Amino acid sequence: MHTGAEAPTDPMIPRLFAVRARRDETEDTFTFDLEPRDLGPRDLELLGGARSMAFAPGQFNMLYLFGLGEVPISISGDPAEAGRLVHTVRSVGSVTRGFSGLQPGQTVGVRGPFGTAWPTREAEGRDILILAGGLGLAPLRPAILRILAERRRYRRVYLFYGTRNPQMLLFRDDLERWRNTPDLAFEITVDHADITWHGRVGVITKLIAAADFDPDRSTAFLCGPEIMMHFSAEALKARGMHGADIHVSLERNMKCAIGHCGHCQLGPAFVCRDGPVFPHDRVAGLLAVPGL
């Protein structure tokens, strides 16, 4: 299993961060940057002296909005960029709706980072296929940035991004940059569009059929709705890839983030502790069980 950066000494105590910047991605999705609040020596002692914001691509933090509650949110920033934490959130519940009103200077509690990481190191020397669906681009973004920063360590790199319509596209500055990145086969496809859209329309699995990669020397990273990951994994296997080389990031009801409370249990695994990134062959059978 791939583990990332270590969590603070007491993983149940949140550290205080301030919102440094906030930007809208879409009508209901936004990204905000966090930086540590200035802390006194007594505070640092209480928090185990932990001021590091190091994380591994794919890991998540528990973000605490005081008075409302705590939610698990993947880290969407650049792992090479020290000094700030970046998260991207969609407003779907009472806590995330609360986050949508955050303004620079406000305080957020942070526990983490937690969970397993995308195996970017283990994938060196191989073809890379990254398939992101909808908001699933956010947990993949740190891996994409690392792979592109270290592009020579990999063979062919494919990045396929599917979303509902052009209005739902995230990280538009990144998308423009990735379109113009040499040695990156980057495609966006949407489920439907009006006639002003000049890009692809159709399901993301269509892109897999046309990609030229060596199935025995490829690693795939998938993140998006489970049904999208299921169909994508099946399409990759139809091309000859092995389930152990296909990695998926799962989302469950994570509460404690350290494998104690059991809310995120998926069969024998706790998604918060053993995931969220899993080899597909480890979870494919579990995901096929209705209601699990």
Partner 1 sequence: MRTLESVMIEHRFFHGLEDELTRAIAGCGKQVRFETGQYLYRQGDPADTFYIIRRGSVGLEMRGPQGNMMFNTEHPGGVLNAAWIVPPYRCSTDARALETTVAVALNGKCLRDKCEADHHLGYELMKRFVPVLVDRLTHARFQTLDVYGAGMA
The first and second tokens of residue 52, run together, are 């590091």
Closest contact distance (angstroms) between CB of 51 and partner 1 is: 26
DSSP state, residue 7: P
Nearer to partner 1 by C-beta: 73 or 257? 73
Nearer to partner 1 by C-beta: 225 or 243? 225
Nearer to partner 1 by C-beta: 64 or 231? 231
List own/partner pairs for 146-150 with CB under 8 A and 24 or more apart.
146/57, 146/78, 146/79, 146/80, 146/120, 147/120, 148/178, 148/181, 148/184, 149/80
Closest contact distance (angstroms) between CB of 276 and partner 1 is: 11
Site for partner 1, rule CB under 8 A:
71-73, 89-90, 92-93, 96, 133-136, 162-164, 168, 191-195, 197-203, 205-206, 210, 224-225, 227-228, 231, 251
Nearer to partner 1 by C-beta: 123 or 223? 223
**Comparing C-alpha atoms, which of 207, 284, 205 is closest to residue 250?**
284
Nearer to partner 1 by C-beta: 9 or 94? 94
Closest contact distance (angstroms) between CB of 148 and partner 1 is: 23
Closest contact distance (angstroms) between CB of 151 and partner 1 is: 25
In our burial notation (b when 16+ CB lie closer than 10 A, e otherwise), range 117-141 reads bbbbeebeebbbbbbbbbbbbbbbb
Task: Kindly give, in sequence order, each residue whose CB lies less than 8 Å from that of residue 116, ignoring residues fewer than 6 positions away.
Answer: 1, 2, 3, 4, 58, 59, 274, 275, 276, 277, 278
Nearer to partner 1 by C-beta: 5 or 193? 193
CA–CA dist 77, 135 (Å, integer):
14
Nearer to partner 1 by C-beta: 12 or 92? 92
Task: Kindly give, in sequence order, each residue whose CB lies less than 8 Å from that of residue 260, ignoring residues fewer than 6 positions away.
Answer: none
Nearer to partner 1 by C-beta: 254 or 269? 254
The first and second tokens of residue 214, run together, are 């060596």
Closest contact distance (angstroms) between CB of 128 and partner 1 is: 22
**Comparing C-alpha atoms, which of 160, 115, 62 is closest to residue 277?**
115
Closest contact distance (angstroms) between CB of 254 and partner 1 is: 10
CA–CA dist 292, 277 (Å, integer):
17
Closest contact distance (angstroms) between CB of 138 and partner 1 is: 8
Query: Contact 236/262 with Cβ under 8 angstroms?
Result: no
Closest contact distance (angstroms) between CB of 57 and partner 1 is: 17
CB count in 10 Å sphere of residue 6: 11
